Structure 1
């Protein structure tokens, strides 16, 4: 595997100081909310708790600047400035310039719009092919598969049925001079395995194609350096990275300029509006700056104030991942020790995200309901990824139990989860 941002998910975790869990949990009001007292949250892959910095910015925007932004009066100028600040603050954490960022209502909506742009872009290109995977969430799979209606050939990169992994070597046979685009996940929302993105995008780039990486299940565990990954498009959900309910699409400006405008015709000259047909949610865009505020706070609390600014993202990523690996280890060891279930994906906590899916004789939703009786919040079903579940020989309608957590999950909550699983299973 290429030694890039893919590898530092474990390297930086090993070098990072221990996470101050008390400091972290103090940043999330939901963890101190009386109505949630006694409940442990293990459905973070469906959406994380927002941090207080995001909530503060959202409240201030609605209170002080809920007007049409960029108009020639103080409240409007302030609203526009806060929106601009959010993009400018978040971009460095992703290793890109602000003009790479596009904010839409969700990742599913962002991929849909992007696919419509490619539908027009590839129209008339004889023999064009798109590669999709079995491993992806439907948001980065179905929209591309539907382009077969335009005569585009869809090729499927299949997973290993035993491990659920994608083999980069298997991609070689799917790539050719006809390949226009390859869509794949940074990390599966079912299998949890972290794919070697830089290695894959290098192959895609060598074939003259565009890479579209679904980072929704990776980004909550440390925002990646998109430029180092080599992705042409990288997508994630802000509401899973401690922010408001928006989708963020990080896209190479050169690619955006080549694609047809999917926004209003009169906005074609504005890059930031070419792939966002609807007007942005002003308050939620402004609140994105709260994510950067939170990461800044994590860095300043755990590292020397004179540490080089250009390493902040990697250091915070390592800090978060170190905590997650430590939390995942006892859970995965417990599950691996049982013979009445199957963990989908790797059981080495250092090689996966802490999103753990379990196949069991009882349906996933039934297991989640049973855990709720023990004040454990978890989910059951196919989680919009039936293809990988089916490819691994399991029934998507029966579903899996999914247990997902992030860096603010405490060791005590892991112990409670294991005790509850012991009773339920």
Structure 2
């Protein structure tokens, strides 16, 4: 797989190992966004061609996201980012909670799938139960049997940790939640770029993702069954439409960026030369992307393991291609600066894994360095990082 030529930004000579914080954008996405403005754009619902183009762009973006994660376009909520949408859904669901109700969150999750639920529970008088992470960075599924009860309203869990890469047994967790009568909210922001996604197989009543993590613009989406969304009544303007999923989308959508979302999904579907529906092509291409990333990740982990003074955090059995580490005698920021001088982009800090870095006991000391692999990375990127840390 060689997708690098599609990305103008990769021509600057840097090794972009920072994809877990946001990926680079292929030329096709840039062109789709620019072309929307060149052709003229109006708001949706009008009687003139520019408005009709906006209608089509929105419909196409919903269909593209649905194909990517295995959903129904009628259940695709679009918004500025996953955090904003999660707060909106949490507040909407919590309107029906009572004192004594419960929500379950995990120490593994990005704070965007923790704090909205914790804060909504506090306002409703509901209690919060926490799922723990073990020494290997796993989220044992069996513990949820003890955390769930007939008062559980929502279980919020990640499909992959954004710092350790851990892929929990989400299907088992959501099955237990459903048996208890609870809804499930799965954060797929980090997981979606790194392999095929099947919302139904995961058991996600709500599946959240962000396009800028899979080579698109800064757009978030939450995918759910339209029938479930139809039972929810979010706060909205009296003058705005009440149909699903529009009732969850406040204000005017960024139409040009939504054109970029569709182009990003098409980019992913085209990583492997194959035929079939877009959904079928995505399943194959994302499986190939995952294999490519894991090959590079093995090289990265093996190399880091041979460098004296490097401490790697987490060793889950199934994980995405992200390494979280420290170097003896250096703060995480100093390591990131050393790598930047070698033209290697990585992140340092808690990366919003607030509870996890606290559980690991590293948050107060600057947490760690994160190097992540995406489908446009290659062996030169990995070797440059390893060489810089070895000198």
Report the TM-score when normalising by structure 2: 0.94
CA-to-aligned-CA distance 1:179-226 (integer Å, 9 cap, x gap): 000011101111111112212111111111011111111111135111
* Aligned CA distance change for structure 1 residues 347 and 136 (closer, same or farther; 3 Å): closer
5+ residue gaps, structure 2: none
Counterpart of 2:266 in structure 1 is: 293
- In 2, the alpha carbon distance for the partners of 1:212 and 1:310 equals 23
Counterpart of 2:69 in structure 1 is: 94
CA-to-aligned-CA distance 1:147-189 (integer Å, 9 cap, x gap): 22321000111111x2121100011100010100001110111
Quick check: 2:335–2:369 contact (8 Å CA) kept in 1?
yes
* Aligned CA distance change for structure 1 residues 126 and 386 (closer, same or farther; 3 Å): closer
Quick check: 1:106–1:245 contact (8 Å CA) kept in 2?
yes
Quick check: 1:120–1:260 contact (8 Å CA) kept in 2?
no
Counterpart of 1:28 in structure 2 is: 7
Counterpart of 2:301 in structure 1 is: 332
What SS class does the counterpart of residue 382 from structure 2 fall into? helix
CA-to-aligned-CA distance 1:219-274 (integer Å, 9 cap, x gap): 11135111221100111110111101111111222322222223323446211222
Counterpart of 1:157 in structure 2 is: 131
What SS class does the counterpart of residue 142 from structure 2 fall into? helix
- In 2, the alpha carbon distance for the partners of 1:134 and 1:99 equals 32
1:382 to 332, 335, 350: 350
Counterpart of 1:213 in structure 2 is: 186
Count matched residues. 389
Counterpart of 2:324 in structure 1 is: 357
CA-to-aligned-CA distance 1:25-81 (integer Å, 9 cap, x gap): 12212123xxx2x21111111100112221111011111123223311112212221
5+ residue gaps, structure 1: 1-18
* Aligned CA distance change for structure 1 residues 115 and 369 (closer, same or farther; 3 Å): same
Deviation at 1:337, TM superposition (A): 3.0
Deviates more, 1:276-285 or 1:173-182: 276-285
Quick check: 2:269–2:282 contact (8 Å CA) kept in 1?
no
Quick check: 2:226–2:245 contact (8 Å CA) kept in 1?
no
1:370 aligns with 2:344: no
Deviation at 1:338, TM superposition (A): 4.0
1:259 aligns with 2:259: no
Alignment of 1:2-401 (within 5 A): 19=1, 21=2, 24-32=3-11, 36=12, 38-122=13-97, 125-146=98-119, 147-160=121-134, 162-267=135-240, 269-299=242-272, 301=273, 303=274, 305=275, 311-338=280-307, 340-346=309-315, 351-361=318-328, 362-401=330-369
CA-to-aligned-CA distance 1:298-353 (integer Å, 9 cap, x gap): 24x2x3x3x576532321121101100110111101222345232122276xx211
What SS class does the counterpart of residue 421 from structure 1 fall into? helix
Deviates more, 1:231-240 or 1:357-366: 357-366
